[in-house]
Amino acid sequence: MLETIHMNLTHKRFAIRNQCALLLVICAPILATPEVPGQQPPRVKPYPVKADYTKYEYRIPMRDGKKLFTAVYAPKNQNQRYPILLTRTPYSVRPYGVDQYRSDLGPSPLFAKQGYIFAYQDVRGRWMSEGDFINMRPHLPAKQGPQDIDESTDTWDTIDWLLKHVENHNGKVGLWGISYPGFYTAAGMIDAHPALKAASPQAPIVDWFVGDDFHRNGALFLPHFFNFIANFGRPRPEPVKKSNFTFDHETPDGYQFFLRLGPLANANPRYFKNEVAFWNEVMRHGTYDDFWKSRNLRPHLQKIRPAVMTVGGWFDAENLFGALETYKSVEATSPEATHILVMGPWQHGGWNRTDGAALGHVSFHAKTSVFYREKIELPFFEFHLKGKGKFTHPEAWVFETGTNQWRQHDAWPPRNVQAKKLYLHERGKLGFSPPGEAEAKDAYDEYISDPAKPVPFHEKIAIGMSSEYMTADQRFAARRPDVLVYQTEVLEADVTIAGPIQAGLHVSTSGTDSDWIVKLIDVYPDEYPDPNPNPAGIRLGGNQQLVRAEVMRGKFRNNFEKPEPFTPGKPTPVRFTLQDCYHTFRPGHRIMVQVQSSWFPLVDRNPQSFVDIYSATESDFRKAIQRVYRSRELPSHLTVLIRP
């Protein structure tokens, strides 16, 4: 199963080998999301590729002379012409050899049944393609000659060659990809070839420092980056068909593994031995400098000509940011382009690999992925590449969790939302009214944050970033003394939040740096029914379901380029964005907010002293007294967008 996922090229993934199991970590749709806890969902039945398609392999020359390995699957039925559907990937177009076939084609088996020419390409410098690989290769807006290449030019050259050398096409090309291939899709629709008529960047990467994959607001997502780059970052001096290296953690317990790692500076001498160049590069760039700015794709998503369908998952642990930011960028700069947004209740790539009926212990009571594949994705490409059907899609297809239903809007966020503030109050209360005059002017709650005993991000024992943490029960965290908890009274009516959430805290620390994690949580009624059947013995009464959470590395509170220390003990405003959600808190439920300063090992430990964390030593890590203020003069709150 793991190997099949690897070869499907639809998302980022990484095989981890340990004594217990094989596990997928960074950049991968999680293999299986049980509709009933403890049971595996039905797999999408593969299409009999060999019966209906013939495979060809080409080495396509780019303008600078490098050749990129490309596998093409063409329909045997020659009674009609077909559009070309292209995917560009750093994860291999395996299996190699014209007699070796993929087990499926396209975004779903529906596409092979309808008939397309499918093209899969190893991007420059990966697997069987020539050239040098550069992670998130920077876009070059001004090109002086054939040696000035980027992913836009490689996409153009590939499309141009395919149109001239592959028979029986209809002159139209589509581009799609999930995760890292989603980045190549987004980059490829910039300065697009005239034949590129439709593109679907799905969970694309757009900024690896601010919000995608490896960082959130400057804080390193440690297991996500470490586990991915331990394999993906190994050198490839020449084209290869196989990669046999797998990193062995020698334990299934990620919390203990990364705690024993100690400061991040230990990773290279202890494990990577200067063989993983990109790890060392990242460790040299601890602020939002030109290294990261050049890899910010958003400024280049301008004047987009193809029709675009951006797809993301509300519970995508990796590239929720990328999907939302791609949509916002294209919408702002390319108003004449046909552009729709699709957001479902999915983990990373879950729309492609599961039926989308559940995630972790949370059921959505519908096969959301099946609906997307049949009613949204296939019709989008059929219309724009074949002229079939009518284009009746709304601006935004968005799934509302809580009530568990698809909504159609003419804008995202919906135009009728109203901003309201949820304030933190004394005795752990949360409400829409600001603190009163009766509360002390310096009212606060405090806790001790100890880097030696960080707050776990999940109860589950896992070596990587388990995707179900995005909906996981937070009761384990609420019971810790270093987590502050605030909740509303029992709700009497629906409260629907639609759009981004702004955290506005007033805090102080006895140290000079600190992380601030804010979590928005749906608290179920105590009498909430358990799943039926329930082989895992899940108890949902009082469940504290995570709806959205985010971290802000405190030193970047004002500027990602120029970090600033805290003045010990001084109340300081810290403001940041929690990514969009679309969730209804039902009557009988409560809204909860948790605040903490560690989230381990999901986020690397902050030493709580103002240093370059990537070169910090053990002596830099210190306990700190953290205060969150909640007075009339120094209120702490979340600004949420409420849909009437």
Residue 470 has pLDDT above 70, yes or no: yes
Confidence of residue 629 (pLDDT cuts 50, 70, 90): very high
Q: Rounded CA gap, 455 and 440, in Å?
A: 29
Residue 42 has pLDDT above 60, yes or no: no
Looking at residue 45, what is its pLDDT?
64
Residue 177 has pLDDT above 60, yes or no: yes
Looking at residue 29, what is its pLDDT?
34
Looking at residue 605, what is its pLDDT?
98
Looking at residue 260, what is its pLDDT?
98
Q: Are 249 and 257 in contact (CB under 8 A)?
A: yes
Confidence of residue 467 (pLDDT cuts 50, 70, 90): confident
For the four alpha carbons of 217, 222, 224 and 225, in that order, the dihedral sign comes to: positive
Confidence of residue 15 (pLDDT cuts 50, 70, 90): very low
pLDDT: is 335 or 199 the higher one?
A: 199
Residue 123 has pLDDT above 70, yes or no: yes
Stretch among 16-25, 81-90, 269-278 having the lowest mean pLDDT: 16-25
Give every CB contact of residue 10 below 8 A, 6+ residues apart in sequence. Answer: 29, 87, 107, 177, 178, 179, 181, 349, 352, 353
pLDDT in tens, 178-198: 999 999 999 999 999 999 999
Residue 18 has pLDDT above 90, yes or no: no
Looking at residue 28, what is its pLDDT?
36
Mean pLDDT of the chain: 92
Query: Distances from the Cα of 309 to the Cαs of 116, 155, 156, 515, in angstroms?
Result: 18, 18, 19, 35
Helices (H) and strands (E) in the chain, counts: 15, 27
Stretch among 40-44, 50-54, 433-437 having the lowest mean pLDDT: 40-44
Looking at residue 243, what is its pLDDT?
85
Residue 202: Cβ-neighbour burial (10 angstroms; 0-12, 13-18, 19+): buried
Looking at residue 30, what is its pLDDT?
31
For the four alpha carbons of 184, 185, 187 and 193, in that order, the dihedral sign comes to: positive
Looking at residue 264, what is its pLDDT?
98
Which whole number is the average pLDDT over 111-133?
98
Which whole number is the average pLDDT over 573-584?
98
Q: Rounded CA gap, 180 and 11, in Å?
A: 6
Q: Are 204 and 182 in contact (CB under 8 A)?
A: yes
Query: Distances from the Cα of 416 to the Cαs of 28, 77, 375, 413, 548, in angstroms?
Result: 35, 50, 26, 9, 22
pLDDT in tens, 45-56: 667 899 999 999
Own/partner contacts of 425-433, CB < 8 Å, gap of 24 or more, are 425/486, 425/630, 426/630, 428/484, 428/485, 428/486, 428/487, 429/486, 429/487, 429/488, 430/486, 430/487, 430/488, 430/591, 430/592, 430/593, 431/488, 431/489
Looking at residue 12, what is its pLDDT?
36
Domains and their CATH numbers in the chain: 49-206+297-409 (3.40.50.1820), 418-642 (2.60.120.260)
**What is the total residue count of the chain?**
644
Which whole number is the average pLDDT over 446-473?
96
Which whole number is the average pLDDT over 495-513?
98
Confidence of residue 367 (pLDDT cuts 50, 70, 90): very high
Q: Rounded CA gap, 113 and 77, in Å?
A: 11
Residue 625 has pLDDT above 60, yes or no: yes
Q: Is 220 helix (H, G, I), strand (E, B) or coil?
A: strand
Which whole number is the average pLDDT over 328-334?
96
- DSSP character at residue 485: E
Query: Distances from the Cα of 420 to the Cαs of 271, 487, 548, 643, in angstroms?
Result: 48, 16, 17, 10
Looking at residue 44, what is its pLDDT?
54
Residue 6 has pLDDT above 60, yes or no: no
Looking at residue 532, what is its pLDDT?
87
Looking at residue 47, what is its pLDDT?
79
Confidence of residue 549 (pLDDT cuts 50, 70, 90): very high
Give every CB contact of residue 186 below 8 A, 6+ residues apart in sequence. Answer: 199, 201, 204, 206, 297, 301, 326
pLDDT > 90: what percent of the chain? 88
Q: Are 591 and 488 in contact (CB under 8 A)?
A: yes
Looking at residue 25, what is its pLDDT?
34
